């Protein structure tokens, strides 16, 4: 019987090609990892700027909300003042009518009117009294 020869050269070739393939995959993976790390480092300032921009936008939105609330309060106060001023304006209109009526009456009054004569004034002295009452707390 003849011995069968094992094709060792095929097994060696298969092992070497698998090793080369694994080495090339490792090299490509390493290059890709380096490239991705470089890309991430290149993008880091942009991401930081974006985070800063986002924070600034949030602060601005909060400031706009605060200003809007203050504006609303000012508008409400203005409407209250307008209502009060309308009442004051109506009161001034009534006062102007009253003053105009009084001016009309004052124009019709004589320039001078006879006054009654004043009689003599007599002063009276009050006698001194030395009495006390218990109402003041004195005994």
Rg (CA), the chain: 55
Which pLDDT score is estimated for 59? 97
Q: How high does pLDDT run on average in the chain? A: 86
pTM over 0.75: no
Task: Give per-10-residue mean pLDDT for the chain (139 aa).
Answer: 69 91 96 93 91 96 96 93 89 92 81 78 77 62
Which pLDDT score is estimated for 8? 80
Per-residue pLDDT of 54-92, as tens digits, reads 999 999 999 999 999 999 999 999 999 988 898 899 999
Which pLDDT score is estimated for 137? 58
Q: How many CA atoms lie within 13 A of 103 on its CB side?
A: 6
Name the CA dihedral angle for 47, 53, 58, 63, rounded to a multiple of 10 degrees: 170
């Amino acid at each position: 019987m003849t011995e069968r020869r094992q094709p060792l050269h095929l097994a060696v070739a298969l092992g070497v090609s698998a090793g080369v393939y694994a080495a090339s995959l490792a090299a490509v993976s390493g290059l890709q990892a380096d490239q991705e790390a470089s890309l991430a480092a290149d993008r880091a300032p942009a991401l930081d700027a974006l985070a800063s921009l986002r924070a600034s936008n949030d602060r601005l939105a909060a400031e706009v909300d605060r200003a809007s609330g203050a504006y609303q309060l000012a508008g409400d106060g203005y409407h209250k003042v307008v209502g009060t001023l309308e009442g004051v304006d109506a009161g001034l209109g009534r006062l102007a009518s009253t003053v105009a009526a009084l001016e009309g009456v004052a124009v019709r009054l004589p320039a001078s009117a006879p006054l009654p004569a004043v009689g003599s004034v007599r002063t009276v002295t009050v006698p001194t009294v030395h009495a006390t009452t218990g109402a003041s707390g004195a005994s």
